[in-house]
Amino acid sequence: MAKVHPNTEEYCIPSVEVAGDRKDKSRVLTVWRKSLLFSCSGFTVFDDEGNLVFRVDNYGSGRAGEVVLMDAAGKPLRTVRRKKLSLGGNWKIYNGEEAVNPVYSVKKQYAKAALVHVAACRRRCSSAAAGYEVEGSYARRSCTVYDEQRRAVAEVQRKEAVGGVGFGDDVYRLVLRPGADACFAMAVVVVLDQMFG
């Protein structure tokens, strides 16, 4: 069986540094739709050296419509919350565990080619704010995040082991283009999983 994470002895690193974290080179994270904790759902994310970078642990007793993205040590980085009175098509991304002043608003696009629109929040989130579009299919693990100039920022891709054996839908790659914010990209993946997972 192919390994999902090569460095099992290095589960905790002190910050959200991604191996090869240089401005001129794409970085690749391995996203595993599995929590490190028993009887929890969530995500475990490794860099290209096998170090734990992000994790999400959803406990059965947690609040519905809320997911916390943490670093390897368990420090909350972003909280993703479903907007109240929304039918699942509107989410907010907050810094840490804050409940006010969202950083981004994510809306499902029903009539357009894009899956979702991610708007940066200034004082209030609005669809007119500069933002990002996500196109493709999250269900097929083939989608791209574009900025307002239509430059690819991040991409979700299927991951295959050496020899062409597939990992299935629970293990995939998150490719971060040069200068991309890994924390933002992973928060968008968490929202996509909540909307389309």
pLDDT in tens, 29-74: 988 877 665 656 678 889 988 899 998 877 554 455 788 898 988 8
Is the pLDDT at 160 greater than 80? The verdict is: no
**Backbone φ and ψ of 75, nearest 5°:** -75, 125
Q: What domain range is 31 assigned to?
A: 27-196
Cα(190)–Cα(197) distance, rounded to whole angstroms? Answer: 9
2 found inside a domain? no
16 found inside a domain? no
Q: Are strands 52-58 and 76-82 parallel, antiparallel or unpaired?
A: unpaired
11 found inside a domain? no
From the list 146, 86, 73, the residue with the least C-alpha distance to 113 is 146
Q: Model pTM? A: 0.79
150 found inside a domain? yes
Domain count, the chain: 1
Average pLDDT, the chain: 78
107-124 pLDDT per residue, tens: 988 767 788 899 888 655
Residue 22 pLDDT: 52
164-178 pLDDT per residue, tens: 666 777 888 999 999
Domain harbouring 185, CATH code: 2.40.160.200
